């Protein structure tokens, strides 16, 4: 149980375009979802925390107008990178937690690799 999926797994886009990444909890209700970014050979950096039905809480230094997060249902959160640029190229990983599970445990998705040309 506690499976989290992400779509797509890899996306290549042109500079200036927007890209949407989906994060789904397949077998539980995710009241909280987290979005992380990981640059090559670096650790995971938390970008934002989203609770279902409310606005996301962004970490310091993360532009909320550039990284749009929507958590409209208990099984789906989306991250939209608007007007992507090469410096946005990274590995984006989501995680989820919910009341059916141990609420202090996050279950991680497989990640989405974004390459901006």
Partner 1 sequence: ELKVEQNPLFLSMQEGKNYTIYCNYSTTSDRLYWYRQDPGKSLESLFVLLSNGAVKQEGRLMASLDTKARLSTLHITAAVHDLSATYFCAVGPFYGGATNKLIFGTGTLLAVQP
- Residues contributing to the site for partner 1 (CB under 8 A): 32, 34, 36, 41-46, 49, 57, 93, 97, 103-106, 108-111, 113
**Smallest separation (angstroms) from partner 1 to the CB of 49:** 6
Q: Which residues contact 96 (CB under 8 A, 6 or more apart)?
A: 4, 23, 25, 28, 30, 32, 33, 34, 77, 106, 107, 109
Nearer to partner 1, 73 or 105 (CB): 105
> Which pair of structure tokens corresponds to residue 48?
């934002």
**Smallest separation (angstroms) from partner 1 to the CB of 104:** 6
Nearer to partner 1, 19 or 109 (CB): 109
**Smallest separation (angstroms) from partner 1 to the CB of 103:** 7
Cβ-defined contacts of 5-8 (< 8 Å, 24+): 5/109, 5/110, 6/92, 6/93, 6/94, 6/109, 6/110, 6/111, 6/112, 7/112, 8/112
Nearer to partner 1, 17 or 57 (CB): 57
**Smallest separation (angstroms) from partner 1 to the CB of 93:** 6
Nearer to partner 1, 51 or 80 (CB): 51
């Amino acid at each position: 149980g506690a499976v989290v999926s992400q779509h797509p797994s890899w996306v290549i886009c042109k500079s200036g375009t927007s890209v949407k990444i989906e994060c789904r909890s397949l077998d539980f209700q995710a009241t909280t979802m987290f979005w992380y970014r990981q640059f090559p050979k670096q650790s995971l950096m938390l970008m934002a925390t989203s609770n279902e039905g409310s606005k996301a809480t962004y970490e310091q230094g993360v532009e909320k107008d550039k990284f749009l997060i929507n958590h409209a249902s208990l099984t789906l959160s989306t991250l939209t990178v608007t007007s992507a640029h090469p410096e946005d190229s990274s590995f984006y990983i989501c995680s989820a937690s919910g009341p059916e599970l141990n609420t202090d445990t996050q279950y991680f998705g497989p990640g989405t690799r974004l390459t901006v040309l």
